[in-house]
Chains A and B, each alone.
Chain A
């Protein structure tokens, strides 16, 4: 544990040093390719973190407290989107695993759904769900779910199909129904695959929520903050960078929650963790 923390810190320090070294080098030799290096394009890392503890506007609250509230708001959207997408994705896989015809018929459309850019889907979702008495952020959750369900469906299908044919024979020897076979065998066997998907989906749901806030014109989340600081980038570059750091931390937290859940739920030989 101590060793892992040590490695983690060492990597962090190396990345920090590499960033600062490149900046110092770029400024010293007047690097113009691929871009000019100065405080605007390449701020000091301590300035990014320092910015977190500056007021967000004159006499306003600290930036970190503004971003913390925004991150919580986006986390809510992403979490609801993740649960929604994971549920839909899993149910879809269960339906498809029982019907070869459905699988062949639906698969191309499931794949196609992911080739349509999220920015093209988002305005439609906002139009469809707006004015239904649902909170505005719910549209954003649906957009996040759209990114979330796909890895879950694909991996759940693999997992549900991953069962040993012998184990299926065993269930058959007990005259087990499809339903029993599903719950006693297929679903538990698919858990390692599901968690591999959840790890991808957890981070995707955060990205989906941040992007989804833009067309939904939601100001309260990290997407709104990114848009805002984008406009003021010339006057205060570190604000946008600081926002990105918070967004990354949110994605990492989601990932870690899934890893923790996996440790608690999946009972497998250690080498079989995906």
Chain B
């Protein structure tokens, strides 16, 4: 594979849900280069989570071309080219933190010794030392999400897909995990596609923020985030940070994101469809 080839390349990707005949995504064109951290931001029901699932071949697009790591999305999934993190940690209750992290490795057929070694590295990376033998219900929400991130990184995938991973956490935990995610991203060198509806989070984390319109979701603009790397707590205080936040917010507003309509039944259905779709 060419070093500079895009990790994700979407061409005229549309998605129409059969149920309710709703157009969720309309002609999305997007390229993600190796090592980038790209956030998708938009109002609820704009199809950003659906778009992430299309990249992961968990939902099939109605039309358009999806290329991941130079191959079809399906082949990329079969080759385990990406790891995914959901809003809920989705840990298996019957497995300890360490065993949850090792789940993908078991499926890849790694032997016990190699798994244990890799889990040790990951526990250190996500700073969960001492909690390896805890069960998920014995961990806080933030710690559960760290386990989930470690699990996604365990097999060192080229691409990390994250669907509002910190959406269910309190603000303090969220900001701390934002910092850690940046550290992990720098350390692992992987490419991240990140779905969020927090403007500040998107600006703080990303190299590019992709702003989407309400349904049918399309890309209304892309903001290059040229804040210096590595970022830290002070980054959030910089005037340029606020300029970029304003820029993203204006773009969302221009797209009609804050029309402040109460969510219609139809939209709710769409969200439900997004939530419940499995291939």
A interface with B by C-beta (< 8 Å): 164-170, 172-176, 180, 184-185, 188-189, 191, 266-269, 272
Q: A166-B88, A172-B278 are in contact. List 8 more A-B contacts (CB 8 A).
A: A169-B58, A169-B84, A170-B84, A172-B77, A174-B104, A176-B107, A188-B94, A189-B93
Q: Is B103 part of the binding interface, using a Cβ–Cβ cutoff of 8 Å?
A: yes
Interface members, chain B 102-149 (any A CB < 8 Å) = 103-104, 106-107, 135, 137
Separation of A176 and B94 alpha carbons in the complex (Å): 19
Separation of A185 and B95 alpha carbons in the complex (Å): 11
Separation of A165 and B90 alpha carbons in the complex (Å): 10
Q: Which residues of B contact A173 (CB under 8 A)?
A: 56, 58, 77, 82-84
Indicate if the CB atoms of B93 and A175 lie closer than 8 Å.
no
Indicate if the CB atoms of B278 and A184 lie closer than 8 Å.
no
Q: Which residues of B contact A189 (CB under 8 A)?
A: 92-94
Ordered nearest first, which 3 A-B pairs have the shortest CB separation? Answer: A269-B137, A166-B90, A175-B78
Indicate if the CB atoms of A180 and B107 lie closer than 8 Å.
yes
Q: Which residues of A contact B77 (CB under 8 A)?
A: 172-173, 175
Q: Which of B53, B80, B94, B276 contacts A267 (CB 8 A)?
A: B94
Separation of A267 and B278 alpha carbons in the complex (Å): 27
Q: Which residues of B contact A170 (CB under 8 A)?
A: 84, 86, 90
Indicate if the CB atoms of A268 and B94 lie closer than 8 Å.
yes
Indicate if the CB atoms of B94 and A184 lie closer than 8 Å.
no
A172-B77, A172-B279, A175-B77 are known contacts. Are A167 and B92 too (CB-CB below 8 A)?
yes
Indicate if the CB atoms of B80 and A175 lie closer than 8 Å.
yes
Give the A-B contact count at a CB cut-off of 8 A: 62
A164-B90, A170-B84 are known contacts. Are A267 and B135 too (CB-CB below 8 A)?
yes
Task: For the complex formed, measure the closest distance between the CB of B198 and the CB atoms of chain A, giving whole angstroms.
Answer: 21
Interface members, chain B 32-61 (any A CB < 8 Å) = 53, 56, 58
Task: For the complex formed, measure the closest distance between the CB of B54 and the CB atoms of chain A, giving whole angstroms.
Answer: 13
0/1 string, B65-92, CB within 8 A of A gives 1: 0000000000001111011101010101
Indicate if the CB atoms of B92 and A185 lie closer than 8 Å.
yes
Indicate if the CB atoms of B107 and A184 lie closer than 8 Å.
yes
Q: Which residues of A contact B107 (CB under 8 A)?
A: 174, 176, 180, 184
Most buried by A among B78, B88, B94, B279: B94
Indicate if the CB atoms of B94 and A191 lie closer than 8 Å.
yes
A172-B279, A176-B107 are known contacts. Are A266 and B80 too (CB-CB below 8 A)?
no
Task: For the complex formed, measure the closest distance between the CB of A191 and the CB atoms of chain B, giving whole angstroms.
Answer: 7
Q: Which of B80, B93, B279 contacts A272 (CB 8 A)?
A: B93
Please name the residue on chain B nearest to A267 by beta carbon: B94
Q: Which residues of B contact A269 (CB under 8 A)?
A: 93, 135, 137
Task: For the complex formed, measure the closest distance between the CB of A192 and the CB atoms of chain B, giving whole angstroms.
Answer: 9
Indicate if the CB atoms of B93 and A267 lie closer than 8 Å.
yes
Most buried by B among A169, A184, A191, A266: A169
Indicate if the CB atoms of A266 and B84 lie closer than 8 Å.
no
Indicate if the CB atoms of B103 and A184 lie closer than 8 Å.
yes
Please name the residue on chain B nearest to A175 by beta carbon: B78
Most buried by A among B53, B103, B275: B103
Task: For the complex formed, measure the closest distance between the CB of B274 and the CB atoms of chain A, giving whole angstroms.
Answer: 11
Question: Could you write out 21 A-B pairs with CB less than 8 Å apart?
Answer: A164-B88, A164-B90, A165-B277, A165-B278, A166-B88, A166-B90, A167-B90, A167-B92, A169-B53, A169-B58, A169-B84, A169-B86, A169-B278, A170-B90, A174-B103, A189-B92, A189-B93, A267-B93, A267-B135, A268-B93, A269-B135
Most buried by B among A169, A173, A189, A191: A173
Separation of A175 and B278 alpha carbons in the complex (Å): 13
Indicate if the CB atoms of B58 and A188 lie closer than 8 Å.
no
0/1 string, B249-279, CB within 8 A of A gives 1: 0000000000000000000000000011111
Q: Which residues of A contact B106 (CB under 8 A)?
A: 184
Most buried by A among B79, B84, B95: B84
Q: Which residues of B contact A175 (CB under 8 A)?
A: 77-80
Please name the residue on chain A nearest to B136 by beta carbon: A269
Separation of A166 and B165 alpha carbons in the complex (Å): 13
Q: Which residues of B contact A165 (CB under 8 A)?
A: 275-278
Task: For the complex formed, measure the closest distance between the CB of B96 and the CB atoms of chain A, giving whole angstroms.
Answer: 8
Q: Which residues of A contact B82 (CB under 8 A)?
A: 173
Separation of A184 and B53 alpha carbons in the complex (Å): 22
Indicate if the CB atoms of B93 and A174 lie closer than 8 Å.
no
Most buried by B among A164, A166, A167, A266: A166
Separation of A167 and B148 alpha carbons in the complex (Å): 12
Task: For the complex formed, measure the closest distance between the CB of A160 and the CB atoms of chain B, giving whole angstroms.
Answer: 15
Separation of A164 and B86 alpha carbons in the complex (Å): 12
